Amino acid sequence: MRVAITGSTGLIGSALVQALRWGGDDVLRLVRHEPRGTDERQILPDQRRIAGPGLADVDAVVNLAGTAIAGGRWTEDHKRSILESRIAVTETLVAALPADGRCQRFVSGSAIGYYGPTGDHAVDESAPAGHGFLAGVVVAWEEAASAAPVPTAFARTGHVMTPRGGYIGPLLLAFKLGLGGQVRDGRHWVSWISLDDEIAALRWLLASEETGPFNLTAPHPVTNARWTRAMGAALHRPTVLPFPVPVATALYGKEFVEQVVLSSQWVLPNRLEESGFEFGDTQIEPALARLLRS
C-alpha cells in the first residue's frame, strides 16, 4: 500500500512512517519545503494545493499536521495557528481526493479534546462535543475532514506515552531528579495511550473500512495521582513534591492550564475494541515500566 502522510516529522508521524516502511508499505511524505527525495512531495496549504500528481498515486492518506498544542503560551496568535494550521492542511487534502480515484482511505488526526472536560463521567465516541477552545478546534478539524469524498476515520488521540515526547517528555527530567509530583489533588482523569498502541491503531484504521470517530486511548484511564505514582515507581524516584501549577500558568497561561493540565477526561476506546483491535498496553504501571526501562 502506498500511503501519503502529513506531519511525518512529528512524534506520531515519524513513528508511523517507520512502522509502515518496516511493514513493507510505501510512504510518501507530504512536506512544506522543496522535496529532498523521491519519498517527498510538496504540500502548499496556503494555496490549497499539492504538487503534481497530488494524491492520484496513493492508496491512503494519514493527516497528522498541525501546530503543537503545547508549543508555547496560548496567545491569540498561537491559538489561531493551532486552528488554522489544521484546517488549511485538511482542506488541501480533501480538495485533492477525487471520489473515484485510487485513494479510497482517509485517516484524519483528531483528539479527545473534542469532548472537553468530562469530570468523573466516562464517555465514548457517542458523546457530544464539549466546550472550550480545544473542543472547538477539534470540531472544526473533523468538519473539514468530513468533506472528503472517500471513507474517512477520525483518530481521536489521547495523551501519548513515550519518553521521546508527548505527555511524558516535558516532565521526564523533573521525575528523574525526584522533583515530579501530582497536580493538585490528583483526582482528574488522564486518558492515555502508549506510542506503540497509537501507531498500531492508526495502521488498524488504515486497513479498516469503518468510518467516523475512534478514540485512540487505552481501555483503562487513570487519575493523575495514579499516573504520578506509576512514573515514580518506573523511575525509582519519590513523587512527593506537588506539580507547580502557578509556574505552568505563568509560562503557558491560565486557559492552557485549565484545558490541558487540569482538565479531567475519562475517555474509552469502545469502537476500537468492538472492531477487534487489541491493545498491547492496557495498564499504566507495566506500560510506564516498559517505556522507561532504558
pLDDT digits (tens, 9 = 90+) for 160-174: 999 999 999 989 999
Average pLDDT, rounded, for the chain: 96
In the chain, alpha helices (H): 11-22, 76-95, 133-145, 169-176, 195-207, 224-235, 245-252, 254-256, 270-274, 284-291
CATH of the domain at 256: 3.40.50.720
Residue 279: pLDDT over 90? yes
pLDDT (tens digit per residue) in 134-187: 999 999 999 999 999 999 999 999 999 999 999 999 899 999 999 999 999 999
Task: For residue 111, list its beta bridge partners.
Answer: 157
Per the CB < 8 A criterion, the answer to whether 270 and 124 are in contact is: yes
pTM score: 0.96
Query: Which of residues 4 and 71 earns the better pLDDT score?
Result: 4
Per the CB < 8 A criterion, the answer to whether 94 and 144 are in contact is: yes
Per the CB < 8 A criterion, the answer to whether 201 and 144 are in contact is: no
Residue for cell digits 516502511? Answer: 21
Q: Is the dihedral of CA 142, 144, 145, 150 positive or negative?
A: positive
Number of domains in the chain: 1
Residue 75: pLDDT over 70? yes
From first CA to last CA, the distance across the chain in angstroms is 34
Q: Is the dihedral of CA 57, 58, 61, 64 positive or negative?
A: negative
Residue 294: pLDDT over 80? no
Percent of the chain predicted with pLDDT > 90: 94
Residue 71: pLDDT over 80? no
Residue 47 lies in domain: 2-291
Q: CA dist 2 to 18, 27, 155, 196, 204, Å? A: 14, 6, 19, 21, 15
pLDDT value of residue 251: 83
Residue 70: pLDDT over 70? yes
Question: What is the DSSP track for 34-46?
Answer: PP-STTEEEEEGG
